[in-house]
């Protein structure tokens, strides 16, 4: 079951038996659990009808599930981070058998941070006798829709293009996005519309976004700006290998663009095949115009060679990125001189 089906089941009051909530989208997972609590637990009687359990013995878990609800139709039993879902232990047979007979008066929910181990007996038992609900990261379309809806709940509105810009700038972590959206709503004040310039003015940039801007600066020959952005990432604590990996990823995207342009693909086809947000794909196409296919290949080789020398101990991480950036700029200078 995906999160949309789970939310619909909550809305319709059709939850029965055991559930496992797992996946990397923690913010929406928490919101789904909150919606479940609101639906099942009568106001003022929440504590009398809910059990929050951490690594409980099977006896305690079964006892909680067998306790009848008080002035409510169902009791909610929430089991957080059960070790039998992470590889640290195995569930005993009594718990596995009990999942087949969870009473209708109880909704049992296992909540796992991140992905659960699908090889474990408990996971397979919930999958067979209950329901596994996946909370994967939102795709680009879903994320834009979520941003627009979330702004609406704040009394604000934004165009799809602005939502895409915000997602590109901040990243796809909805918890972080929500914090940035509150900042934007405060900036807008009485104004209803959230604008592109608002996002550019105050939103905290992800490493991916900063690397995009760094490549823009390289393309424009702005060495000071490019090295300034690199310095900002390093000061903020970003890992050098991580930044290098993002830089390599960016130039590999440009390499894909050049290959598809050589194959006479249309701009729309290129955007679709890149597999990234449309806003980001447009920037990739613009960046690729500044390079020949051979030059992009050379930059990819510079990044790969730098990564190899760091990991093999032939180059110290200190100064490695700066050295790679200087080589990339040297390519740009050679082209101008030619």
Task: Give the Cα-Cα-Cα angle 41, 44, 47 (nearest 5 degrees).
Answer: 65
pLDDT number for residue 334: 72
Q: Looking at residue 138, what DSSP letter applies?
A: P
pLDDT confidence band for 133 (50 / 70 / 90): very high
Q: CA nearest 291: which of 279, 281, 300, 282? A: 300
In terms of Cα–Cα distance, which of 44, 18, 231 is closest to 125?
Answer: 18
pLDDT 10s digits, 88-102: 778 889 999 999 999
Q: Which DSSP state fits 23?
A: B
Residues 122, 88: Cα–Cα separation, whole Å: 12
Of 80, 131, 77, 132, the C-alpha closest to 103 is: 77
**Is residue 338 pLDDT above 60, yes or no?**
no
pLDDT for position 331? 82
pLDDT attached to residue 318: 85
Q: How sure is the predictor about 336, in pLDDT bands with cuts at 50, 70 and 90?
A: low
Q: Mind listing the pLDDT tens digit for each residue in 35-83?
A: 999 999 999 999 999 999 998 999 999 999 999 999 999 999 999 999 9
State mean pLDDT over 137-149: 91
- Average pLDDT of the chain? 91
Kindly report the pTM of this predicted structure: 0.75
The domains of the chain, with CATH numbers, are 3-134 (3.40.50.300), 140-202 (1.10.8.60), 207-337 (1.20.272.10)
Helix spans in 2-139 (H): 3-12, 26-40, 58-66, 93-98, 121-129
* CA 188 from centre of chain: 26
- pLDDT tens for 144-188 read 999 999 999 999 999 999 999 999 899 889 999 999 999 999 999
pLDDT in tens, 209-256: 899 899 989 888 899 999 999 999 999 888 899 999 999 999 999 999
pLDDT tier for residue 132 given thresholds of 50, 70 and 90: very high
Confidence class for position 121, pLDDT limits 50, 70, 90: very high
Please report the pLDDT score of residue 337 as a whole number.
58
Give the pLDDT of residue 278: 78
DSSP assignment string, 187-244: HHTT--EE-HHHHHHHPPPPHHHHHHHHHHHHHTT-HHHHHHHHHHHHHTT--HHHHH
In this prediction, residue 194 carries a pLDDT of 96
Helices and strands, counts by H and E, the chain: 16, 7
Query: Do residues 147 and 203 lie in contact, with contact meaning Cβ atoms separated by under 8 Å?
Result: no
Confidence tier at 87 by pLDDT (50, 70, 90) = confident
Cα dihedral across residues 267, 268, 273, 279: positive or negative = positive
Q: Is the pLDDT confidence value at 103 over 90?
A: yes
Nearest to 175 by CA among 147, 142, 207: 147
Q: Does residue 197 surpass a pLDDT of 60?
A: yes
Q: What is the pLDDT of residue 272?
A: 87
Instruction: Tell me the pLDDT band of 23, cut-offs 50, 70 and 90.
Output: very high
């Amino acid at each position: 079951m995906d999160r949309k089906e789970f939310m619909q089941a909550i809305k319709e009051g059709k939850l029965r038996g055991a559930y496992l909530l797992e996946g990397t989208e923690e913010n929406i997972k928490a919101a789904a659990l909150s919606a479940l609590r609101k639906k099942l637990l009568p106001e003022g009687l929440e504590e009398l009808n809910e059990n929050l359990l951490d690594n409980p013995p099977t006896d305690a878990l079964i006892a909680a599930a067998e306790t009848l609800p008080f002035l409510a139709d169902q009791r909610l039993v929430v089991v957080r981070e059960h070790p039998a879902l992470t590889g640290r232990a195995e569930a005993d047979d009594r718990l596995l058998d009990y999942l087949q007979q969870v009473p209708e008066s109880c909704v049992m929910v296992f909540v796992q941070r991140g992905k659960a181990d699908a090889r474990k007996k408990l996971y397979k038992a919930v999958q067979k006798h209950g329901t596994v609900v996946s909370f994967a990261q939102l795709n680009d379309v879903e994320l834009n829709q979520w941003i627009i809806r979330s702004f609406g709940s704040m009394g604000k509105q934004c165009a799809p293009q602005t939502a895409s810009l915000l997602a590109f700038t901040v990243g796809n972590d909805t918890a972080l996005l929500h914090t940035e959206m509150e900042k934007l709503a405060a900036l807008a004040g009485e104004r209803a519309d959230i604008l592109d310039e608002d996002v550019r003015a105050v939103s905290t940039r992800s490493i991916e976004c900063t690397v995009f801007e760094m490549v823009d600066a390289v393309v424009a020959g702005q060495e000071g700006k490019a090295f300034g952005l690199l310095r900002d990432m390093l000061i903020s604590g970003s890992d050098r290998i991580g930044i290098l990996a993002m830089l390599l990823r960016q130039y590999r995207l440009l390499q894909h663009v050049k290959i598809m342009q050589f194959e006479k693909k249309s701009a729309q086809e290129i955007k679709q095949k890149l597999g990234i947000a449309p806003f980001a794909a447009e920037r990739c196409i613009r960046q690729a115009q500044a390079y020949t296919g051979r030059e992009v290949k050379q930059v990819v080789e510079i990044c790969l060679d730098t990564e190899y020398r760091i990991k093999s101990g032939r180059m110290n991480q200190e100064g490695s990125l700066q050295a790679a950036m200087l080589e990339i700029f040297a390519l740009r200078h050679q082209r101008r001189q030619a």
